[in-house]
């Protein structure tokens, strides 16, 4: 993934003009993550935080504590971008029907 691709998703984020609101402390993070609900780039955001081990703030709807727990639980994953973003997009020419059958 190029540097341009890595940052282009931020243009579509619901929080693009409210960064300070997503870096509260403690239990206020749970309230802050409501901004992420329905965000079109939520997976890209979460992958960015997990791949880069970003320790602060709410990213992709997950708090600092939730991300740390996920990283501890899945140390085998080298690229969260591949898991969360690329795996969610069906390959060209593949139609996914309701119920997950193609």
Please give the annotated binding residues, written as ranges.
Answer: 15, 36, 39, 45
3-class state of residue 23 by DSSP: coil
Residue positions forming the annotated binding site for [4Fe-4S] cluster:
15, 36, 39, 45
What does the alpha-carbon distance between residue 46 and residue 81 come to, in Å, rounded to a whole number? 8
Q: Residue 59 and residue 45: Cα distance in Å, rounded? A: 6
CA distances to 2, 34, 44, 49, 60 from 6, rounded to whole Å, are 6, 23, 8, 11, 14
């Amino acid at each position: 993934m190029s540097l341009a691709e890595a940052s282009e998703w931020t243009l579509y984020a619901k929080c693009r003009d409210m960064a300070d609101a997503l870096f509260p402390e403690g239990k206020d993070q749970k309230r802050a993550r409501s901004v992420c609900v329905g965000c079109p780039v939520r997976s890209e955001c979460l992958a960015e935080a997990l791949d880069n081990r970003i320790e602060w703030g709410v990213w992709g709807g997950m708090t600092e504590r939730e991300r740390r727990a996920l990283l501890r639980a899945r140390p085998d994953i080298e690229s969260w971008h591949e898991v969360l973003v690329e795996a969610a997009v069906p390959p060209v020419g593949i139609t996914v029907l309701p119920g997950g059958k193609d």
